[in-house]
Structure 1
Amino acid sequence: MSKTLGVIGLGSMGFGAALSALRRDVSTWGFDLNPHTCERFAAEGGKVAGSLADLARHSDVVLVLVVNAAQTESVLFGDNGIAAHLKPGSVVVTAATVDPTLPPQWEARLAERKIFLIDGPVSGGAAKAAAGEMTVMASGTPEAFAAAGDLLQAYAGKIYRLGDKAGVGSTVKMVNQHLAGVHIAAACEAMALGIRAGAHPDELYEVICNSAGMSWMFQNRVPHILAGDYTPLSAVNIFVKDLGIVLDAARKLAFPLPLASAAHQLYLGTAAAGHGQEDDSAVIKLYAALTGIELPQGKEAA
């Protein structure tokens, strides 16, 4: 008998993950607090649960793709949380970026109910999620992976098994977010410098993309700046949160992170200036405010 996937959190990445599973003929239930999102999922052929308990009763594997640790804990153990309603042998995959010390605690609490946990944060953004090509950084017991079967492959392009206990996946995701946050901030700073010095933004972008200074984040985010379009594909506030997690973890390890600290201040400053809900490339707006440079205009100015 085929297993059923439940997806809690039908945001940009959760919606894409759920649709990818449907396209791969996996029976998929979804739950979200946004009725419009649930209606969209139902229109695509997905099954919509009326509550967390309802989704838990129908699912063998539950992907929890919410915003943060607090929401994850609420979904798992809050009032009407799924832990009380999943059948023994079920698997929970937690996918939010969280402090790596938390998944082992969730793993232990779920084990008391004979429920498995896979610490499985994801990377790739909305586009990769919609294409079923997200990277999953997973850790958990061999029994947890055996119980999950092929359901991780239903929404992922690459799955890395990183250890036999929860926490390792979140550690690797934390390192990824360190790099991503620093690279985006550096890309914004570099473009601002080039504009201030008189380089044409489009030409600057093209040259750097074909030179040693190029990073994936530079290549991916600078087009938002060139188009003057700061519609949030990944918001500034996400990196306020994620680099905060990185810095908190490093502080516990007495590990210095001067680059991450500087980048975090840039995201905080951008959020304080009123751009927290905009795309993370809006960090360049902080430089524009400080230096008076004129940024490319697009649909925002139209």
Structure 2
Amino acid sequence: MRIGPPLAVACSVVLLATASPALAAGPRENWAGATSQYFQKVPSANEFTTRVPSSGSDDGFTGRLRLKARPGVGPDAGIQIATTASRQYGEYGTRMKAANCAGQDRVGVITGAFTYSGDHSDSNGNGVPDNGEIDIEWLCAQPEVIYLTVWTDYSDATGSLRKVSRVIDLRAGRILSTCFSTYFGECVPVSAAENAPTSVPAISGYDSGTEFFEYGFNWTPSVVTYYLVNRGGQRVTLWDYRGPAQRIPTKPAPFLQNVWHSNNWDPIGFEARNQPTADVDSFVDWTQLP
């Protein structure tokens, strides 16, 4: 999950919602035990606690990702959990609340659920290191907006990248942008196959930090389909990405969930980069693996 400002681009409106099917038949971690056989905490000064009582969770317990007050900048200074083994294609899902920064003014805090490959060789030979990553992210200063990004390449040294992304205001039911990018700030229009659905339904009062929702994606060699399960139990397709195969990652990767401080990724329309001065929590009801 690399940092860069999105662009706001208006899109037309079409609803796509279906009844929620059964989840993939892989393991599910419900965070009700003292330890997990599927996940480990990435070392940091922050806290991950299982079996935390939480109203609104399916079984009464959650895993809590706690970003301590006054953290350093970047994911490595945040709180992260990662699967102990890499996985590849299939359906990934999680029922969770993102970080809630209520009462803290314009803080830069990101919550993520994503795959991330540590193999940064240039296997596709395009001159940019591979960066296989499929992201779901929220900025706590603008909790009504969700960021969906599929990465294949990124260079820390040059800033060159290859990614497709969609940004949605779920409270308003408005797609703000759907882009292909080779550098931060670029928004190249995508094809019709990469831009479905052309809108999503509004979720009244949606706030990623105060209410549990199920989010996830299905990853195949040719398609990445993001979804959300709404309050009525319906699975709503947020983005059914069917672009060129070279824009979809192929390498096995761990699945991670995290909370971290950013000082250069702003919400849409205003700056929010302040360091949090109080602890910030995200709660994970369960995590489903393929």
TM-score by length of 1: 0.24
More strand by share: 2
More helix by share: 1
| Greater relative CO (CA pairs within 8 A, separation 6+) | 2
Radius of gyration: which is bigger? 1
